[in-house]
Amino acid sequence: MKKETWILIVDDELSHKAMLRENLKFLGYNTLEVSNGAEAVETVKRESPNLIIMDLRMPEMDGMAALKEIRKFNETVPVLIMTAYGTIESAVEAVKNGAYDYLLKPVDVDDLAAAVENGLKFSSITNSDQKESQAEADDKFPEIVRASRAMEDILKIVSQVAPSEASVLITGESGTGKEVIANAIQRLSLRADKPFIAVNCAALHDQLLESELFGHERGSFTGATETRKGRFELANGGTLFLDEIGDMALTTQAKILRVLQSGTFERLGSAETLHTDVRIISATNHELKQDIEENLFRKDLFYRLSVVPIHLPSLRERREEIPAFANHFLQTFNEKNRKNVIKISDDAAKILYQYEWPGNVRELENVMERSVIMTMGDTVTAEVLPSNLKTEPSVRADTLEPLTLLEQTERDLIIQTMDACGGNRTKAADQLGMSRRSLYNKLKRYGISE
């Protein structure tokens, strides 16, 4: 396979380009070589290489500009961006613009081999995915409840980033499902059959967290009665999920950064340097950019962790998913508690829809479990819902006539479609699959201004 694989090297440094050429040939790949972005664009059009390794800073046309041009006519060829340590921020921007990953110059030979191999695998998976039917694509996430455009867009990013080696930072309020997304990335990754280990960085104080991550030698601190491997060691070859990364102390952040840069660390109380190969997925409910300004989080670590950022909106920002989640949890807790609660009353559904859900999906899950347990018949009624759901102000209680959950969902869909069509009734009616008169009647009924 490698003999038929062509890699385009784009670098204006002759010695570095020669180093790449010789090492790639040693690994069994054929190479093409150019010295600037403009030549790279023309070569990709003419030769269609299997992978591109491109420097970020070059004369005539730099790597960023060349990447954007290449993506206009070739969306699938994996591009590895090379950059000096001081320009990692630019490399992260390149990844956001379609690069597969980035390498630090001077490029380490082992890193090069791994990045090229993974990039080619990613390309193969991506091209295969494009040929899947829509039904096959939907089956990628059987464990994830989604009924909003926002969530579908997030899952598209998950599908794209999962087979890569890029670090992923998942942000969002507590309870929005960050660990669910992390698990989906791991399941669809090239490391799916390797360990997936999660660490809650907020649950342990500094020394215990470092011991958990890096391991310790016997006697290294009070209570260390035996040598213990850390999570970086146990996750070797797989994925490490660092949950609540924003709660990590600066000293620990520095050690995490070193592992990401060099793949090396020491157990507490040991001088022996250990090596690990892990992919990092992290999550936080913090505003890390604000934490950086307040010197609570390292800027260089942030850029290392957030090569691909994924933000999960709160449940109140995607209310159209509340019915889907509520019914999903209804089924789950029916089975768990051997109950036969089959539906939610309109009054209860309206309360669920209008509540603000500060605890997001996790809070809704807890409410539905309690409601299933407390329901005596086959229907969840307003009476069994927690009192705070009924007493707190709702976002729509003072502006809408009483609506069923289905009507409320339809109202929101009409608003979204009207906005997308710039208020054009004809276009909106066509997209909604109804007549213009029907749309007009619904606008009037639901009190939707144009």
The answer to whether the peptide bond before residue 106 is cis (omega within 30 degrees of 0) is yes
pLDDT at residue 400 greater than cutoff 60: no
- Which tops the pLDDT comparison, 102 or 131? 102
pLDDT band at 399, cuts 50/70/90? Answer: very low
pLDDT for 447 = 73
121-137 pLDDT, tens per residue? 777 655 554 444 344 44
d(CA 316, CA 101): 34
Question: Under a CB-based contact definition with an 8 Å cutoff, are residues 217 and 270 in contact?
Answer: yes
pLDDT for 187 = 94
Which residues in 333-367 are b (16+ Cβ under 10 Å) and which e?
bbeeeeeebeebbbbbbbbbbbbebebbbebbbeb
pLDDT for 1 = 39
pLDDT for 142 = 85
pLDDT for 136 = 45
d(CA 128, CA 316): 36
CB count, 10 Å around CB of 109?
A: 15
Arithmetic mean of pLDDT, 403-428:
78
SS3 for the chain, per residue? CHHHCEEEEECCCHHHHHHHHHHHHHCCCEEEEECCHHHHHHHHHHHCCCEEEEECCCCCCCHHHHHHHHHHHCCCCCEEEEECHHHHHHHHHHHHCCCCEEEECCCCHHHHHHHHHHHHHHHHHHHHHHCCCHHHHHCCCCCCCCCCHHHHHHHHHHHHHCCCCCCEEEECCCCCCHHHHHHHHHHCCCCCCCCEEEEECCCCCHHHHHHHHHEECCCCCCCCCCCEECHHHHCCCCEEEEECHHHCCHHHHHHHHHHHHHCEEECECCCCEEECCCEEEEEECCCHHHHHHCCCCCHHHHHHHCCEEEECCCHHHHHHHHHHHHHHHHHHHHHHHCCCCCEECHHHHHHHHHCCCCCHHHHHHHHHHHHHHHCCCCEECHHHCCHHHHHCCCCCCCCCCCCCHHHHHHHHHHHHHHHHCCCCHHHHHHHHCCCHHHHHHHHHHCCCCC
The HSE-up count of residue 247 (CA atoms within 13 Å, CB side) is 15
pLDDT at residue 383 greater than cutoff 60: yes
Topology of domain 315-391 in CATH is Helicase, Ruva Protein; domain 3 (1.10.8)
Question: Under a CB-based contact definition with an 8 Å cutoff, are residues 58 and 10 in contact?
Answer: yes
Provide, rounded to the nearest whole percent, the portion of the chain with pLDDT above 70.
Answer: 90
pLDDT at residue 30 greater than cutoff 80: yes
pLDDT for 261 = 87
The architecture that CATH gives domain 150-311 is 3-Layer(aba) Sandwich (3.40)
pLDDT for 149 = 83
Instruction: Take residue 101 and report the two structure tokens written for it.
Output: 């990953």
Arithmetic mean of pLDDT, 324-328:
92
d(CA 305, CA 320): 31
* Phi and psi at residue 35, to the nearest 5°: -115, -5
Q: Are strands 168-171 and 101-104 parallel, antiparallel or unpaired?
A: unpaired
pLDDT at residue 178 greater than cutoff 90: yes
Query: pTM, whole model, 2 decimals?
Result: 0.67
Where in the chain are the domains?
Answer: 2-130, 150-311, 315-391, 405-445
Arithmetic mean of pLDDT, 56-75:
91
Q: Which CATH superfamily is domain 2-130 in?
A: Response regulator (3.40.50.2300)
Same fold, 2-130 and 150-311: yes
pLDDT for 130 = 46
pLDDT for 44 = 95
Instruction: Take residue 257 and report the two structure tokens written for it.
Output: 């950064």
Question: Under a CB-based contact definition with an 8 Å cutoff, are residues 354 and 394 in contact?
Answer: yes
pLDDT band at 97, cuts 50/70/90? Answer: confident
Indicate the average pLDDT of the chain.
86
Q: Out of 179-188, 359-368, 405-414, pick the least confident.
A: 405-414
187-215 pLDDT, tens per residue? 999 999 999 999 999 888 888 899 999 99
The HSE-up count of residue 337 (CA atoms within 13 Å, CB side) is 18
- Which tops the pLDDT comparison, 51 or 125? 51
pLDDT at residue 241 greater than cutoff 70: yes
d(CA 257, CA 67): 27
Of 422, 412, 334, give the one whose Cα is nearest residue 372: 334
Q: Are strands 279-284 and 308-311 parallel, antiparallel or unpaired?
A: unpaired
pLDDT band at 403, cuts 50/70/90? Answer: low
Topology of domain 405-445 in CATH is Arc Repressor Mutant, subunit A (1.10.10)
Backbone region of residue 221 per phi and psi (left: phi > 0; alpha: psi in -120 to 50; beta: other values): beta
Going 326 to 328 to 330 to 333, the CA torsion angle's sign is: negative
